[in-house]
Amino acid sequence: MSLFRYQALSETGKKVQATIDAVNLQEAKQKLLRLKVIAIRLEEVSSQDVAKALTKGELLALTREIARLLQAGLPLYETLAALEEKYRGMKPHAMLLDLSSKVKTGRSLSHLLKEHSQTFDLLYISMVANAEKTGRLTESFEELAQLITRQLQVRKAIVGALLYPALLSCFCLIVFSSLLFFVVPSLSELFEGRNLHPFTKIVFAVSAWACACKTFFLFLFLLFVAVLFTACFSKKGKEKCMQIAAHLPFFKPLLAKVALIRFTRSMATLLEGGVPLLGALTQARTSIYHVDLERLVATAEQKIAEGTHLSLCFENQPLIPPLVPRMFAIAEQSGKFSFTMQQIAQIYEEELEIALANFANFAQPILLLILGGLVGFVLLSVLLPLTDVGSFAT
């Protein structure tokens, strides 16, 4: 079945817009004729428009609005229809049109969200499915909005800490490349046949070697741009880059902490929504995006199914800080799993923010010193021969 959007005239002569399901355009026309609807415009909603993925920010805004409208007492269909009208001509419109028209026929929202898996992950869908069973749809959308907000805050903290050092590193590379490929070669003829200082010889030799291998360096630059583009815009490329970065010295503890925060936040949200512990582990594992931690959680699921305590499954694990199994043990005694998971996430979010701030404060002066040292060394090597006036006279 395809979705068709049509405009028609009401009894008062006002233009109205609605949708209808049909196998093809001809069947859609026949359905409208049977309904005695005079359509002045009829078009199929393209699958590309329906399948457009929303960004995390757009998903957060949409989730918040659904929660607010449900909280105001609107039924689910009326909520989706109201948002469909609001977002007409915008990116989420086709998806909301598809959801509202199918919810109207009686299909469950969680099953419909699976058709838009590029926007809604398994955790989101599971939360909605569980809310439909327990009648906590409004609360679940509020919890999902809070979860996405925290995820965006963590992402913003990481990007904010790494952006300036990355830009400064690029600037260092541009300056150094300009000196090696343009400035120093233009001065080589000036000092040809002269007895040069060792510093100057080193710089000229490096510049000559770089110019001779410029094709190779150009290839490396294009390869780096391709990898960066793939990491930013390709899902598989992003996952592969994350796997590689998870084993690098600096990024290994950082990414492990981010994955732990994501895991405990997801667990807290799922447990608060009424999902059992074992089911929450299974669903939260899909939101970790860290291969080693995912493997650890999968092993923990098997052990818990056999009767092992949660705290014992995470003891003496290199990726898990010692505090985590201790807090799990306390949660097992008190029964406050959701609250404990929230506290763990908050503790390590604060640690992550401090670590990123320290890294930014440390990296900026180091990069400035490197940039100043490189530029100063090249300039000194060029200026030293110029101080030898006698050689110019000769």
- Choosing from 107, 131, 148, the residue where a domain stops is 148
d(CA 324, CA 314): 8
Whether residue 88 is contained in a domain is answered as: yes
**Domain stops at, among 148, 175, 193:** 148
38 shares a domain with 67: no
Q: Kindly state whether residue 375 falls inside one of the protein's structural domains.
A: no
Whether 32 is in a domain gets the answer yes
pLDDT tens, per residue, the chain with 394 residues: 566 777 777 666 677 777 666 667 777 777 777 777 777 777 776 666 566 788 889 999 999 999 999 999 999 999 998 998 888 778 888 888 888 888 888 889 999 998 888 888 888 888 898 888 888 889 999 989 998 998 888 888 888 888 888 888 888 888 888 888 888 888 777 777 677 778 788 888 888 888 888 889 889 888 888 887 777 666 676 777 777 777 777 778 888 888 899 899 889 988 888 888 888 898 888 888 888 889 999 999 999 988 889 899 998 888 899 999 999 999 989 888 989 999 999 999 888 888 888 888 888 888 888 888 888 887 788 777 766 655 545 4
Q: How far apart are the C-alpha atoms of 154 and 56, rounded to whole Å?
A: 12
Instruction: Assign 21 to helix, strand or coil.
Output: strand
Distance CA 135, CA 26 (A): 40
Last residue of a domain, one of 148, 171, 204: 148
Q: Can you give the residue range of the structural domain that contains 36?
A: 2-44
Does 253 map to a domain?
no
Structural domain count, the chain: 2
Residue 64 and residue 89 in one domain: yes
Quick one: 72 and 142 in the same domain? yes
My answer on whether 61 and 125 are in the same domain is yes
Q: Count Cβ neighbours within 10 Å for each residue of 43-53 and write b for 16 or more, e otherwise.
A: eebeeeebebe
Beta strands in 26-81 (DSSP E): 39-44
Tell whether 143 and 62 lie within a shared domain: yes
Tokens standing for residue 332: 């097992």
Which tokens in the block code for residue 114? 């699976």
**In this structure, what CATH number is given to the domain that contains residue 137?**
1.20.81.30
Cα–Cα distance for residue pair 225/299, rounded to 1 Å: 38
In b/e form, how buried is each residue of 206-222, taking b as 16+ CB within 10 angstroms? ebeebeeeeeeeeeeee
What is the spatial distance between Cα 170 and Cα 173, in angstroms, rounded to a whole number?
A: 5
Residue 156, burial from CB neighbour count under 10 angstroms (0-12, 13-18, 19+): exposed
If asked whether residues 26 and 96 sit together in one domain, one would say no
Sheet holding 15-22, edge to edge: 15-22, 2-9, 39-44
